[in-house]
Amino acid sequence: MTAVIAAPAPKLLTPAQRRRAKIIGIVLLVLAAFTLLVFGIGTEGDATFKFVIPGQSPTEIPDLTVPGAGSSILLAGVLAFLGAIQVTRGFGDKANLVLGIGLILFVLAFLIWAAAGSPLGAFNFTSMLRETVLRSFPIAMGALSGVLCERVAVINIGIEGMLLGGAFMAALVGSTQGPWWGIVAGVLTGGALAWVLAVLAVRYRVDQIIAGVVINIFVLGITSFLTVRLFAENPQFNNAQILKPWKVPLLGDIPIIGDIFFRQTIFVYALFVLVAGLTFGLFRTKWGLRSRAVGEHPKAADTLGINVYRMRYLNVVLGGMIAGLGGAWFIIGSVGRFDENMTNGRGFIGLAAMIFGRWHPIGALGAALVFGFADSLKQVLGILQTGIPSEFLLMAPAIVTVIVVAGLVGKSRPPAADGQPYVKE
Amino acid sequence: MELELRGITKRFPGVLANDSVDLTVRQGEILGLLGENGAGKTTLMNILYGLYSATEGEILVDGQPQQFSGPGDAIAAGIGMVHQHFMLVPVFTVTENVVLGVEPTLAGGVLDLKQARGDVERISAQYGLEVPPDAYIEDLPVGTQQRVEIIKVLFRDARFLIFDEPTAVLTPQEVEDFFGIVRKLKDDGKGIVFITHKLGEVLGIADRINVLRRGKIVGEAIPGEVSESQLAEMMVGRPVDLVVAKTAAQPKEPVLTVDDLVVADDFGNPVIHDVSFEVRAGEIVGVAGVQGNGQSELVEALTGLSQVVSGHITILGQDVSKATPREIHDIGVAHVPEDRQRSGLVLPFTITENMVLDSYHEDPYSRGIAMDWDATAKMAATLVEQYDVRTPSIDVPVSNLSGGNQQKVIVAREFGHDVKLVVASQPTRGLDVGSIEYIHERIVQERDEGAAILIVSTELDEILALSDRILVMYRGRIVAEVKPEETTPTDLGLYMAGGTPS
């Protein structure tokens, strides 16, 4: 017989792709111009980066002081160079990476400008990145929860509610039974809410968006009610112990890196373990192969004897438990007490991180770090008193979300059956 | 060793899909299951594969009654199925698709992909099923995908293989390869059920033939002892004329002229490259090709449903490259779309409503903003009569009609006007023989009345039977133009695969 295994046809650059490449180049050039005109020209004073967190960092690292105007002009030059190459020759499939680098340089220039212009003239770089990791935690947990659910084609809009519900129960149980039981309560609450979603979405084939929204509204309503009724009158039920950061031996002593990653609470370590575990699980194990098959082509999975419904229940509940752990962090890993709507949309940003991260655990973590950075930037700029209106700073994470999801993601492909109930014939 | 179905009956609400069917297949033989579309073949096989449960009757493997609650049980009993629509995950590799559900694992559920790849290569070598183990399914041609499906079944140690309309997606050359594989499987002692509605194929490959009509086994035959027309009669229940009766074409002036047409898909990729041809009044031009080679896009461009990147489409001297579908319709173009349920009909609408979809804005069916339902109903009743649509009333939703009658509604609506050009895409796909005959007759009749006809079909038999001239499309280009009487299916198949006959 003849072997007609054709090699895949070479992919042509479509007009849309060519347009996109041009747009990326132009964006870089605009950033360069902005950096030069706003951050560069007319900026006086120096910016100092501090790398040592007082009372914590093991080694002394000298501060780094750079001239405000000079460094911005230099960065503008680099941006213009990258933009010019992208417009003329193009970086091909590395264009997104170059855009990412460009954005980092731009943010750097912005920070230098902000520091140079502020009365303090300095800010703590290590502390900012440490804060980034911390703040990205609930977003990352939401994103991982979304990855698990959507990989089996169940859209989970209810992550916000699962975070909030997990936080509430963590506060209640954590206050009475201790922090570890608080964490367990948060995880179980997330799992229980996810089970409700699974019953509605998988068994009764309720529209998944509506089912998720219902969970969000329900959790917001009942926790707000109980906060007023229960916690206000019994503050002892809303006063959980917070877990202290724990230094990882050896790794925690690395300058800067140790401060950022390895002197955190157990939650952050759990996140790293989860990302590694889920990546391995989804792409290297039987469970992962079947999960992905159920999300891509449930009928094919069914004809091979895989129980589509069981896989969906399992993964949605696991996803809910991860979101519940994210919720517990708000109490046990952060402030120790529950407030009305304290998750404040982190679950939705988590969904954006999932899309930006292309339904991949590592991508989701990376995306969550970007959003966490936007979040911590807000705080740094508040300290530096830049004169940018605080309302605008509050919008920063949302703006980053929009830019990232609309502009940077490009074409990413969700699981093929995402959001579709499976009907067995 | 044998697989036996005994008295299988399957009732769906209002339909008796299978009526006490008895059927036996032994190892080392090929059983052809012949039947029209809608005869209940696929339902029967889905019962055998555990996807449906039978209302009555039992399945026996080696004399042991079986209880299948899902495909997993059928697989365990040694039954494997190659579905008509492949059950492959496009973003998985060949190996991943093969092992899905019965994955070889190391400790802790970790996939043993090395072992899996080895197994794929072993089966692949044993049966001559060439596949690239690490390629992604979405990058492979359908013929290769089918081989992956077969490996998938063999990997599960199936002793009985069911092929559901396996040749529908293949070129004639691929069909030959495929038959070779099936014979090898048979020699290896597998029992094979070959489901099809194509007479020639079942005669060519099967050891025994069972004919299914309206859910019942109506006859058994041995190839060599029956003729094609006898089989056809068994399948349809009455004598069938296998050739389309038509006189030689008398082409007149060109009606449709296409010049250097270029069409792109939604992502800007060109899907039709510099296509030029013309269709004259009084002739039928058939466009042959394997599905997905630009035929659908060509039809969409001709009927105004998609935008033309460059080039010109001229109908009766009028440039319609930028015209809307209604403008094109008003020139006298009838369009029988590829997917009748998705783009030909509004399924929940009644016959009357569907009949007036293209002319609701015209006198006498509407005046101002108000519909005149009396006039519309009168028109619908006339067309139903004229085009032999079998229906209890013109007020039933078209979703209640059979495929053949649905298609007749479309044909009635489109041919009911003064037609200058007919563009028909897959006009008989999935229809029973009676409806096919009828639609073909109607098309020839339109030709004889002076219309220009363009038929797009992936069924070579249909193209050969109907066309006065044949164009072959391959990867968005017209690669050949031939006369049906001067070509053979083999040559056409080569063109369709991008080759040239030597």
Which secondary-structure segment (H or E) carries B220? strand B216-221
B71, A416: Cβ pair inside 8 Å? no
Give dist(CA B150, CA A413) in Å, integer.
28
Would the pTM count as exceeding 0.95? no
- Model confidence at B78: pLDDT above 90: yes
**Residue B131's closest chain A neighbor by CA?**
A5
A229 CB within 8 Å of a chain B CB: no
HEC sequence for B267-301: CCCEEEEEEEEEEECCCEEEEECCCCCCHHHHHHH
In A280-339, the residues whose Cβ lies within 8 Å of chain B are 284-290, 292-293, 296-297, 299-307
DSSP assigned state of B93: B
* Domain spans, chain B: 2-236, 241-332+423-502
Instruction: Compare all CA atoms of chain A with the CA of B153 and give the residue at the minimum distance.
Output: A304
CA angle (A137 as vertex; A131, A141 as ends), nearest 5: 170
Residue B276's pLDDT band (cuts 50, 70, 90): very high
Closest-CA residue to A338 (of A124, A182, A155): A182
Predicted pLDDT of residue A10: 43
Contact A305 B75 (CB under 8 A): yes
Tell me the residues of chain A between 245 and 284 that have a Cβ less than 8 Å away from chain B: 284
Residue B257 corresponds to which tokens in the numbers above? 């002229």
CA distances from A280 to A139, B98, B308, B328, B402 (A): 21, 21, 47, 56, 50
Nearest to A289 among B96, B174, B180 (CB): B96
The stretch A301-306 carries a mean pLDDT of 92
Q: Taking 90 as the threshold, does the pLDDT of residue B59 lie above it?
A: yes
Q: Could you tell me which of A26, A27, A80, A69 has the C-alpha nearest to residue A45?
A: A69
| A285 contacts on B by Cβ (under 8 Å) | 105, 108-111
CATH 3.20.20.140 applies to domain A126-408: no
- How near does any CA of chain A get to the CA of B13, in Å? 13
The helix/strand/coil state of B470 is: strand
Distances (CA, A) of A257 to A51, A53, A165: 10, 12, 33
Residues of chain A with CATH 1.10.3470.10: 126-408
- Which CATH number does B2-236 carry? 3.40.50.300
Predicted confidence at residue A16, as pLDDT, reads: 63
Output the average pLDDT for chain A: 87
The answer to whether the Cβ–Cβ distance between A16 and B139 falls below 8 Å is: no
- pLDDT score of B430 more than 80: no
Is 60 exceeded by the pLDDT of residue B6? yes
Q: Phi and psi (nearest 5°) for B448?
A: -65, -25
Per-residue model confidence as pLDDT tens digits over B108-118: 889 999 999 99
- Give ∠ CA B394-B399-B400 in degrees, rounded to 5: 65
Going by pLDDT thresholds of 50, 70 and 90, the confidence category of residue A425 is: low
At residue A193's C-alpha, the angle toward residues A269 and A294, to 5°, is 80
A216 vs A347: CA distance, rounded Å: 10
Residue A15 confidence class, pLDDT cut points 50, 70, 90: low
Has residue A1 got a pLDDT over 60? no
Size of interface A-B (CB pairs under 8 A): 108
Smallest CA–CA distance, residue B122 to chain A, in Å, is 17
Amino acid at A33: A
Q: Which of residues 124-163 of B touch A (CB under 8 A)?
A: 128, 130-132, 135, 139-141, 143-144, 152
What confidence score (pLDDT) does residue B401 get?
A: 83
CA distance linking residue A254 with residue A311, whole number of Å: 42
Task: State pLDDT tens for residues A345-365.
Answer: 999 999 989 988 889 999 999
Residues on chain B touching A289 (C-beta within 8 angstroms): 92, 96, 99-100, 103, 111
* Degrees to nearest 5, angle at CA B280 with B277 and B285: 65
The region that residue A385 occupies, defined by phi over 0 for left and psi between -120 and 50 for alpha, beta otherwise, is left
Choose which CATH entry (3.40.190.10, 3.30.70.1150, 3.40.50.300, 3.40.50.1820) describes domain B241-332+423-502.
Answer: 3.40.50.300
pLDDT of residue A52: 84
- pLDDT given at position B138: 87
Q: What are the tens digits of pLDDT across the range B15-48?
A: 788 999 999 999 999 999 998 877 888 889 889 9
- Whether residues A293 and B267 touch (CB distance < 8 A) is answered with no
Assess whether pLDDT exceeds 90 at residue B355.
Answer: yes
Question: Which residues of chain A make contact with B77, given a CB cutoff of 8 A?
Answer: none
Model confidence at A9, in pLDDT bands (50, 70, 90)?
very low
The whole-number pLDDT of residue B267 equals: 67
Interface test with A, best of B110, B145, B152, B162 (most A CBs within 10 A): B110
Residues 6+ apart with CB under 8 A from A267: A137, A243, A325, A328, A329, A332, A333
CB B52 within 8 A of CB B446: no
Give the pLDDT confidence score for residue B16 in this predicted structure.
Answer: 84
pLDDT tens digits for range A365-404: 999 998 898 888 888 887 887 777 777 777 766 777 677 6
Is the CB of residue B401 less than 8 Å from the CB of residue B409?
A: yes
Bin B212: left if φ > 0, else alpha if -120 < ψ < 50, else beta: beta
Residue A257 φ/ψ, nearest 5 degrees: -55, -45
Return the number of other C-beta atoms located less than 10 Å from residue B296's C-beta. Answer: 19
Contact B28, B190 (CB under 8 A): yes
Q: Mark which residues 47-106 of A lie under 8 Å from B by CB.
A: none
Neighbours of A64 (CB within 10 A): 12
Q: Is A256 left (phi over 0), alpha (psi -120 to 50) or beta?
A: left
Same CATH fold, B241-332+423-502 and B2-236?
Answer: yes
How many residues are given for chain A? Answer: 425
Query: What residue in A sits closest to B269 (Cα-Cα)?
Result: A14
Is A14–B267 a contact, with Cβ atoms under 8 angstroms apart?
A: yes
The strand order across the sheet containing B469-474 reads B333-336, B421-425, B452-456, B284-288, B469-474, B477-482
Q: What is the pLDDT of residue B192?
A: 95
Q: Do A286 and B83 touch (CB under 8 A)?
A: no
- Is B330 in a helix, a strand, or coil? helix
Interchain CB contact of B55 with A (< 8 Å): no
Cβ(A144)–Cβ(A151) under 8 Å?
A: no
- Residue A406 confidence (pLDDT): 66
Q: Residue B261 — φ and ψ, nearest 5°?
A: -75, 130
- Half-sphere exposure of residue B314, counting CA atoms within 13 Å on the CB side? 16
- B residues 187-246 closer than 8 Å to A (CB): none
Quick check: A90 pLDDT over 80?
no
